[in-house]
């Protein structure tokens, strides 16, 4: 737990899971292949980021809960309810993509350090 709290600021700033200083992303969704500071390769093996999909599901669900609650209170038609949730997912997709990968890399680094 202590290790995770130490990693919280680098996770929020999307920093390298190894040195906690180098930026992971070069743009909105474009990633560096390796850390500009410590040169640690981000994709440790082929298919490495497949597990980040599950982290992304969790993050996006948590972020969409307020929209779901709002839609339940407003009581729209089933079509508008679905469109509202789909729009919310589309809007948060870049955030979800970035943090899913960063959180996954930090969890993996904690479980299996380089
Ligand atoms: Zn680094």
Ligand 1 centroid–CA 58 distance in Å is 26
Ligand 1 centroid–CA 96 distance in Å is 22
Please, are residues 20 and 13 in contact by the beta-carbon 8 Å criterion? Answer: no
Ligand 1 centroid–CA 23 distance in Å is 8
The b-or-e profile of 36-60 (16+ CB within 10 A means b, else e) is eeeebebeeeeeebeebeebbeebb
pLDDT in tens, 19-77: 999 999 998 889 999 999 999 999 999 999 999 999 999 999 999 999 999 999 999 99
Residue-level pLDDT at 107: 93
Ligand 1 centroid–CA 37 distance in Å is 5
Helix (H, G, I), strand (E, B) or coil at 78: helix
Residue-level pLDDT at 28: 83
Q: Does residue 3 have a pLDDT over 80?
A: no
Ligand 1 centroid–CA 74 distance in Å is 46
What the block records as the tokens of 27 is: 């743009």
pLDDT in tens, 66-106: 999 999 999 999 999 999 999 999 999 999 999 999 999 99
Residues within 5 A (CB) of ion ligand 1: 16, 18-19, 22, 35, 37-38, 40
Ligand 1 centroid–CA 107 distance in Å is 15
- Which pTM was predicted? 0.85
Tell which residue, 25, 27, 62, 51, has the closest CA to residue 109.
Answer: 51
Q: Does residue 1 have a pLDDT over 80?
A: no
Report domain extents, the chain: 2-111
């Amino acid at each position: 737990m202590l290790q995770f709290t130490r990693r919280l600021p680098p996770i929020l700033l999307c920093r390298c899971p190894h040195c906690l200083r180098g930026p992971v992303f070069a743009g909105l969704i474009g990633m560096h292949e390796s850390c500009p500071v410590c040169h640690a390769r981000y994709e440790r093996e082929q298919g490495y980021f497949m597990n980040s999909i599950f982290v992304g599901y969790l993050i996006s669900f948590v972020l969409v809960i307020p929209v779901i609650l709002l839609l339940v209170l407003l009581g729209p038609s089933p079509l508008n309810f679905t469109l509202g949730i789909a729009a919310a997912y589309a809007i948060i997709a870049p955030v979800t993509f970035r943090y899913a990968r960063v959180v996954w890399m930090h969890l993996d680094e904690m479980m299996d350090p380089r």
